[in-house]
Structure 1
Amino acid sequence: MLLTHPLTIQEVNNSLSENFIRIFGNVVEHCPAAAIGILKKRPFSDVNHIIKAVIDFLDSLKISEKEKILQLYPDLLNKLTYLSSLQLEMEITGKDHLSVEEKRKLRELNSRYKNKFGFPFIVGSKEECIFTIVSEIVSRLQNDKDRELRIAMEEVKNIVKLRIHEIVR
């Protein structure tokens, strides 16, 4: 369902179950199960109540289920390393440019990250500049799998918040 405007909390609460699942089925990347899981939590009092319901759903998952959710997220760092400088500026805040060597290094770091943790590097803020992301992936590569799973899930929760705020006013 294509939204033409942000929904009110009343519209969310009154929407048919099928529409609700279509609308909220991608607040967690390619995971309509999250929308189905929070459907029974209606009526929601406000947008924060919806966010809390999704976060509670995510927190209730087994570790293997959390890993599967993380694997559904796109590998944006790989995409970024192949963008031109102009495209990169449109994708990431700031005027930072990566040289060919920096792109190669980012591809290498990204590959090490995916091999170590089994899911793509996820960052849940649109405000990150590319050099901050490079620094963050270097830092997060030092984590063990349990710690990185928790961090990546927190990034997913940040994405969820952004997406829900786009859907509901």
Structure 2
Amino acid sequence: MSFSPESLEEFNSADADQVIALLSDLYGSTELATAVVAQRPFDSVDELCTTAQREFESMSDQLVMKSVQAHPPIGATVTAGSLSEKEQQAAMSSAERDKAAAMDRIRELNPKYQETFGHVFLIRASGLTSAEILERMEQRMGNDPDTEWAITREQLAGINELRVRGLFE
């Protein structure tokens, strides 16, 4: 990300193409980024997040799937310095002693999850230990595809909000 606003005011006044590029990286969706940027200026970060959530909820499953697939499988090797790396490391830094075993099991379940549901396992990992992530993954493996898709959309929305709020912290 080359553009990094230091304030909401800078975000609101920056060149639209710069902000679209920034949000596209965060969301994994140029369509969502474009829809959000078109509604600037925002009076607060809360308003920005609410607008993004509303736009996200109206996105087609096809567009959301494109955004989901922009995320690497949890526990997989991620690009150094990427948002995914930071989020996964934050989750793992609080993990207990059996972190390695839990991560091995997550890596083992990833292909089965993808085969079952047709997309990567997505979870808002911030603040979760590897054991908690594994527990949720195992629980979600029992879901029917429609239930799991609804949860995946919810998790992606949470990740999007976390990333946008992180811009201004």
Q: Shared fold (TM-score greater than 0.5)?
A: yes
Which interval holds the TM-score relative to the shorter structure? Answer: 0.7 to 0.9
**Structure 1 residues 16 and 95: CA distance shift in structure 2, 3 A:** closer
Is residue 8 from structure 1 mapped to residue 7 from structure 2 by the alignment?
yes
Which structure 2 residues correspond to residues 6-85 of structure 1 after superposition, within 5 A? 6-29=5-28, 31-79=29-77
Contact 2:12–2:40 at 8 Å: present in 1 too?
A: yes
Asked if the contact 1:34/1:54 (under 8 Å) is kept, the reply is yes
Give 1:95 deviation, angstroms.
Answer: 4.3
Aligned to 2:69, what secondary structure does the other structure show? Answer: helix
Moved more, 41-50 or 95-104: 95-104
- Specify whether residues 112 and 166 from structure 1 end up closer, same or farther in structure 2 by C-alpha distance, changes over 3 A only: same
Show the counterpart of 1:84.
Answer: none
Q: Percent identity?
A: 21
Q: Aligned partners of 1:98 and 1:45: how far apart in 2?
A: 45
Question: What TM-score, normalized to structure 1?
Answer: 0.81
The within-5 A match list for 1:128-147 is 128-147=128-147
Q: CA deviation at 1:103?
A: 5.0
CA RMSD of aligned residues (A): 2.5
Aligned-partner residue type, residue 159 of structure 1: I
Q: CA deviation at 1:10?
A: 1.6
Please tell me whether residue 94 in structure 1 is matched to residue 94 in structure 2.
yes
- Decide which moves more: 65-74 or 133-142: 65-74
Distance (Å, rounded) in 1 between the aligned partners of 2:90 and 2:21: 28
SS in 1 for 2:93: coil
Query: Given the superposition, is the C-alpha separation of residues 58 and 115 from structure 1 closer, same or farther in structure 2, using an over 3 Å criterion?
Result: same
TM-score, length-scaled by structure 2: 0.81
Contact 1:117 1:145 in 2 (8 A): yes
Give the AA of the match of 2:43: S
Q: What is the CA-CA distance between 1:2 and the residue it aligns to?
A: 2.9
Instruction: Tell me the residue number matched to 1:108.
Output: 108
d(CA) in 1 for partners of 2:166 and 2:99? 34
Shift in Å at residue 140 of structure 1?
0.3
Q: Secondary structure at the match of 1:43?
A: coil
**SS of corresponding position for 1:92:** helix
What per-residue deviation string (whole Å, max 9, x for no partner) do you get for residues 125-151 of structure 1?
Answer: 311111111111110011111111111
When residues 10 and 143 of structure 1 are mapped into structure 2, their CA distance, relative to the original with a 3 A threshold, is same
1:122–1:156 Cα contact (<8 Å) kept: yes
What does the per-residue CA deviation read over 1:24-45, in whole Å, with 9 as the maximum and x for residues that have no partner? 222213x222211112111111
Distance 2:77 2:98 in 1: 13
Amino acid at match of 1:36: T
